[in-house]
């Protein structure tokens, strides 16, 4: 499915705008200056009865409106239940009617060389399917979290695929597409997905308390 968001983000201001002497000569609005944003992503229905959809946290990070377009063209408004930026997992909800749940797979059973299919909304053009193999497992160093555990795949993923499904050849969900490495921002065959077993654990916490917590040590 496709996800479209509208929201606002704060714009960086020149420090001179905060100087009272400078402000008296110019008509500068009080408070932070914001700009409207629009973005596109993807999502996966994990509970048809409750209308629960998993996507990436960065897809809905600044969302004030979340519009979901199903594969049959039906459009529904969603609300955010919770998000965990560290794992990049978010949970949103739409009215539950006539939905289908994707079968859940086991990401721990994946092996390098397994065929996988990526489903998403690249560049906002609509639902698209690509295929490839699992290139590596337990990848780290993609972001800032030392506990990363990504599936690396060469199934073509581009901006807009974020939050979409990575499925095995039986159609079971094994990951949520989340990131690419590419000098131009497009696909060069190095793409990453969050293992579905990690997604399950985060979703359980988001359902209970709208956020995810982790143990830590000194």
Tens digit of each residue's pLDDT (9 = 90 or more) over 152-161: 999 999 989 9
Mean pLDDT of the residues in the chain = 87
Q: Does one domain contain both 115 and 170?
A: yes
Catalytic residue chosen out of the listed positions 2, 42, 162, 168? 162
pTM for the whole thing? 0.85
User: Residue 175 sits in which domain range?
Assistant: 107-203
pLDDT digits 0-9 by tens, 164-193: 999 999 999 999 999 888 777 678 889 999
Residues of the chain with pLDDT > 70, as a percent, come to 85
pLDDT band at 13 (very low <50, low <70, confident <90, very high): low
- pLDDT attached to residue 67: 96
Number of domains in the chain: 2
Q: Point out the domain boundary residue: 61, 93, 125.
A: 93
* Residue 132 and residue 82 share a domain: no
Q: Which tens digits make up the pLDDT trace of 83-119? A: 999 999 999 999 988 899 999 999 999 999 999 999 9
Separation between Cα atoms, residue 126 and residue 120, nearest integer Å = 8
Residue 146 reports pLDDT greater than 60:
no
pLDDT in tens, 25-60: 555 556 567 788 898 999 999 999 999 999 999 999
> Is there a single domain that holds both residue 83 and residue 160?
no
d(CA 23, CA 16): 8
| Contact in structure between 126 and 70 (CB atoms under 8 Å) | no
Sheet holding 89-93, edge to edge: 34-42, 2-10, 63-69, 75-84, 89-93, 52-55, 44-47
216 noted as active-site residue: no
Q: Are residues 119 and 47 located together in one domain of the fold?
A: no
Same domain for 120 and 88:
no
Distance (Å, rounded) from C-alpha 53 to C-alpha 130?
21
Q: Residue 217 falls within a domain, yes or no?
A: no
Same domain, 111 and 198: yes
Quote the pLDDT of residue 218.
Answer: 42
pLDDT over threshold 80, residue 4: yes
In a domain, 142, yes or no: yes
Q: Which of 58, 62, 131, 145 is catalytic?
A: 58
112 lies in the same domain as 67: no
Catalytic residue among 84, 88, 154, 168: 88
- How far, rounded to the nearest angstrom, does the alpha carbon of residue 69 sit from its chain's CA centroid? 15
CATH of the domain at 38: 2.40.10.10
Over residues 47-75, mean pLDDT:
94
**Same domain? 139 vs 186:** yes
Q: Tell me: pLDDT of 15 over 90.
A: no
19 as an active site residue: the answer is: no
Co-location of 86 and 112 in the same domain: no
User: Are 142 and 188 found together in one domain?
Assistant: yes
Q: Which residue, 29, 61, 93, sits at the end of a domain?
A: 93
Domain boundary among 60, 93, 126: 93
Residue, of 46 and 71, whose pLDDT is higher:
46
Expressed in percent and rounded to 5, the helix, strand and coil fractions of the chain are 15, 40, 45
The reply to whether 58 belongs to the active site is yes
121 shares a domain with 66: no
The 10s digit of each residue's pLDDT in 118-141 is: 999 998 888 899 999 999 999 987
Q: CA 150 to CA 197: how far, in whole Å?
A: 11
């Amino acid at each position: 499915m496709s996800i479209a968001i509208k929201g606002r983000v704060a714009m960086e201001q020149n420090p001179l705008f905060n100087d009272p002497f400078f402000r008296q000569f110019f008509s500068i609005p009080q408070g932070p200056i914001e700009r409207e944003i629009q973005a596109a992503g993807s999502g996966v229905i994990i509970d048809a009865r409750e209308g629960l959809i998993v996507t990436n946290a960065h897809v809905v990070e600044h969302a004030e409106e979340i519009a979901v377009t199903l594969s049959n063209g039906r459009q529904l408004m969603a609300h955010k239940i919770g998000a965990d930026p560290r794992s990049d997992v978010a949970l949103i909800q739409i009215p539950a009617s006539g939905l289908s749940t994707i079968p859940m797979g086991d990401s721990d059973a994946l092996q390098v060389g397994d065929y996988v299919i990526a489903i998403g909304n690249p560049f906002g053009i609509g639902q698209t399917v690509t295929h490839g193999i699992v290139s590596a497992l337990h990848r780290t160093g993609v972001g800032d979290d030392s506990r990363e555990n990504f599936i690396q795949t060469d199934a073509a993923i581009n901006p807009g695929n974020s939050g979409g499904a990575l499925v095995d050849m039986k159609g079971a969900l094994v990951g949520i597409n989340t990131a690419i490495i590419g000098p131009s921002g497009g696909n060069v065959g190095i793409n990453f997905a969050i293992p579905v077993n990690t997604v399950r654990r985060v979703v359980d916490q988001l359902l209970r308390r709208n956020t995810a917590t982790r143990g830590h040590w000194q």
